Amino acid sequence: MGGRVNEDLIKERRKCTFDIKELTHIIDCGEENTIKRKQIDNYILNIKELWDDVPEEYLSHKERYENAIKKAFIVLKVLRQLHTGNIQITDHRTPTNVYSIQDGIFRNVNPLLIHIGLFWSTIAAQASTEQQAEWLQPDSSMIGTYVQTELGHGSFIRGIETTATYDSTTDEFILHTPRLSAYKWWPGGLGNTANACLVMAQLYINGTCHGLHIFLAQIRDFDTHKPLPGIKVGEIGPKMGFNTADNGFLGFDNHRIPRTNMLMKNVQVLRDGTYVKPKHDKLTYGSMLLTRVTLISDLAYQLSKAATIAVRYSAVRRQSPIKSNEPERQILDFVSQQHKLFITIASSHVYRVVGLWMWNSHKRVTADIHEGNMGQLPELHALACCLKAISSRDASALVEQCRLACGGHGYMMASNLPQIYAYTTAAVTYEGEYTVLLLQTARYLVKFWRLAAEHKPLPQNFAYFEDYIKKNFEQWRNSPEGIIEGFKAIVAGKTKAAYDTLQCNLRNGREFEEAWNMASVQLTNASEYSTISRNDIEALQSRYEELLALIRPNAVGLVDAFDIRDEVLCSTLGAYDGRVYERMMEEASKSPLNEDVVNESFHKYIRPVTMKNKL
């Protein structure tokens, strides 16, 4: 859309006090990455077939999927060409970042998300060298997904009921779905797209259950795409979001696969049925750990999109004067509006930095595991659980706050904020539900509190537990170090409270698991344990308000630095030129309800009632 840039946005950009490009380079981890990102953006976003004439929302469920598949395979073809041309399409930060432009292409979810993000990465991490050589061919016919959750079990995966029974007479596993609750339910791309999948199932050898293992199973004919005999597969129906992801269901009726289709890097079943144990029995859960880590960066990116839309809109939107004799003000001038928006910008930076740190930690710990050293895995798991839980919860709350900050127009699909919310809030549930993951971290913390309470030696990372017990915490100081001290006091205090409740429940004769359940609200909720006083809080509040005023002139510059193209933002409210009302009118004109001046329902249903006695 041509036309002048909104005057208010021009003024905002003029008064920005820092170099926007420099911040973009910091966000991209270096200028060379910015250049590379822009090249890939240009290359892919210039493909005309990727753009819709009719907005996605006006398509039926089936049309949406078919449209998304068309685009997914255009993108896949391009990615393969880039790969063949030896152009590295992932960067060193996280594998999800370069896929972020896909948010714009699909305005929803790529049906190949799990194929690219989980199927390939699980094979790369958990299949043996020979299996990888066979399955990870760039021109493979396999379109895969990650099939774990069942109708009856998602969080408690030890409860999964699908079985893989070894038949030594034929050297095969028999995959079977024993009852309705054992049907696989949810995997992305499973409904119509995938012809293969990685299945999580209970391994049985000679009547002994060895727990959960991962198996590669072909489910559709590669040529005809028809389900193989013994496979019942389909799509699960419309959802709050993710409607182009064809999440599916799957049942096996004694479906046979070769023994060599079990992922065998960490664990093996030999020809004679001998079971060779893994070095750590949670290595099978490795894909969940990796995805939790990458999600933190992805959620930071979703926050930067929501902030860009809401801040630009708030600079353009004028409503009511502050003083009665003044013109109407930009809504960004209201301090309460700044309070709603600036925290979203800040949180995006926080989770971007933490996500990068976790990504590097994951690389380091994975290299150690490769060398047989599992020592750092529990800490990484505890951190990934907690950070995935709070980043998804924060992101969905803040995206919703941005939507509300755009008033009525934020409720329009054309603002793209409802879609960003639907995408973000799903992450609170998938890949480990919020509370369930917090309880995993609590389990880790309580273990170390027990050591502290029993005055046993603690690792350096938990020395502050001992400080808390010995009341070594200093009084609150308003400085970065002081704030960190304050947070340590909160963690120690809330862990102590939960631990004491747990002990009390145990003393009252409860079994451990029951005592744990009774303490679970304390285990997940923050309590007010702090070194901070009422005066400190007042001082912090006024400092916070000063900071809002300091950030205000740079607000538009800060979101411009995220450097998200209009084609990716997909928002009438957030485009770079700020031509909000023009874009809204143009989008409204695409509504099918504007095709006829008089809709035919008037003649069929309205007129016969309203004109009944007058005809």
Ligand X SMILES: Cc1cc2nc3c(=O)[nH]c(=O)nc-3n(C[C@H](O)[C@H](O)[C@H](O)COP(=O)(O)OP(=O)(O)OC[C@H]3O[C@@H](n4cnc5c(N)ncnc54)[C@H](O)[C@@H]3O)c2cc1C
Ligand Y SMILES: CC/C=C\C/C=C\C/C=C\CCCC(=O)SCCNC(=O)CCNC(=O)[C@H](O)C(C)(C)COP(=O)(O)OP(=O)(O)OC[C@H]1O[C@@H](n2cnc3c(N)ncnc32)[C@H](O)[C@@H]1OP(=O)(O)O
Query: Which H or E run includes 210?
Result: strand 208-218
The one among 29, 397, 436, 497 contacting ligand Y by CB under 6 A: 436
CB 13 to ligand X: min, Å: 38
Residue (148 or 261) nearer to ligand X, CB: 148
Q: Which residues, in sequence order, are bridge partners of residue 268? A: 276
- Cα torsion for 59, 62, 68, 73, to the nearest 10°? -140
User: Is 433 one of the binding residues for ligand X (CB under 6 A)?
Assistant: yes
* Euclidean distance between CA atoms 485 and 505, whole angstroms: 30
Within 8 A by CB and 6+ apart from 512, the residues are 506
CB 395 within 8 A of CB 351: yes
Chosen residue from 69, 75, 112, 114 binding ligand X by CB under 6 A: 114
Is 96 an interacting residue with respect to ligand Y (CB under 6 A)?
yes
Task: Select the residue interacting with ligand Y from 6, 33, 100, 121 (CB under 6 A).
Answer: 121
- Is residue 155 involved in binding ligand X (CB under 6 A)? yes
Q: Which of residues 215-254 bind ligand X (CB under 6 A)?
A: 242, 247
b/e burial code for range 233-261 (CB count within 10 A of at least 16 → b): bebeeeeebbbbbbbbbbbbeebebebbb
Segment contacting ligand Y (CB under 6 A): 280-288, 401-409, 462-470, 543-551?
280-288
For residue 19, the tally of other CB atoms under 10 A from its CB is 11
Choose from ligand X, ligand Y, none: what does 435 bind? Cβ within 5-8 Å by kind. ligand X
Residue for token pair 């041509």 = 2
List all residues 6 or more positions away from 79 whose beta carbon is below 8 Å from its beta carbon.
89
Whether 421 contacts 328, CB under 8 Å: no
Q: Which of 75, 356, 377, 492 binds ligand Y (CB under 6 A)?
A: 377
Q: Measured from the CB atom, is 438 or 575 closer to ligand X?
A: 438
Q: Of 61, 116, 16, 101, nearest to 556 (Cα)?
A: 16
Helix and strand counts by DSSP (H, E) for the chain: 23, 11
381: contact with ligand Y by CB under 6 A: yes
3: annotated binding-site residue? no
Residues 407-426 within binding reach of ligand X (CB under 6 A): 426
Looking at 140-148, 248-256, 405-413, 473-481, which segment touches ligand X (CB under 6 A)?
140-148
Q: Going residue by residue from 382 to 421, which x/- string records binding to ligand Y, judged by CB under 6 A?
A: ----------------------------------------
Whole-angstrom CA distances from 196 to 115, 199, 286, 308, 359 are 10, 9, 20, 39, 28
CB of 279 to ligand Y, least distance (A): 12
Least distance CB 100 / ligand Y (angstroms): 11
Interface with ligand Y in residues 185-214 (CB under 6 A): 188
Verify binding: residue 294, ligand Y, rule CB under 6 A: yes
State the minimum distance, in angstroms, from the CB of residue 456 to ligand Y: 16
CA distance 36 to 403: 31
Contact 164, 213 (CB under 8 A): yes
Annotated catalytic residue 431: yes
CA dihedral in degrees (401, 407, 412, 418; nearest 10)?
10
Q: How far apart are CA 186 and CA 194, in angstroms?
A: 13
Contact 252, 111 (CB under 8 A): no
Regarding 148 and contact with ligand X (CB under 6 A), the answer is yes
Select the binding partner of residue 416 from ligand Y, ligand X, none (C-beta < 5 to 8 A, by kind): none
Min dist. Cβ of residue 214 to ligand Y (A) = 12
Q: Is 149 annotated as a binding residue?
A: yes
Binding-site residues: 149, 188
Question: Which residues are known catalytic residues?
Answer: 431
The site for ligand Y (CB under 6 A) is made up of 95-96, 113, 117, 121, 146, 148-149, 155-158, 188, 282, 285, 288-289, 291, 294-295, 298, 377-378, 381, 430-432, 436, 440, 443
